[in-house]
Amino acid sequence: MVDLAKYRLESAQERLAAAKLEMEAGHLKDSINRSYYAFFHTIRSLLAEKQIDFKKHSAVISYFRQHYIKTGIFEEKYSDYVGKAFILRNNSDYADFYVVAKPDAEMQYEHAKEFYEKVRQYLEQKSV
């Protein structure tokens, strides 16, 4: 696995751990944020494999969808997970009076963890 891809996966793993801690502490908005960034850094680990990157989150997500979802490398549900995580993170970070429900934070964390594992396995298989 390319060093940058490995580094980004480690960064995603740290965000997952932080998301879990924040959720357990009742800091649901912070958990949502950390889970989203776990998704984001996981996707960027895939981009590192291709030696590309983008400054905008929307461009990173768009590239992922075009090159990893539409090609069938990853299931469509992961596109949905990422899209929902992006919206939920934006709402919880920027919308005044937005209330995060604990089941939403738990679901986002579980989806981010599942996605991370899927990408980690994919990258490990490619490096063999």
Q: What number of other Cβ atoms are within 10 A of residue 25's Cβ?
A: 10
Q: What is the pLDDT of residues 56-111, one digit of tens each?
A: 999 999 999 999 999 999 999 999 999 999 999 999 999 999 999 999 999 999 99
| pTM for this model (two decimals) | 0.94
What pLDDT, on the 0 to 100 scale, is given for residue 1? Answer: 55
CA torsion angle for 105, 22, 88, 56 (degrees, to 10)? -140
Q: Where are the domains of the chain?
A: 3-127
Maximal CA-CA distance, the chain: 48
What's the mean per-residue pLDDT of the chain? 95
Distance between CA atoms of residues 43 and 54, nearest Å: 11
Fold assignment, 3-127? Four Helix Bundle (Hemerythrin (Met), subunit A) (1.20.120)
Distance between CA atoms of residues 98 and 4, nearest Å: 35
What pLDDT, on the 0 to 100 scale, is given for residue 128? Answer: 43
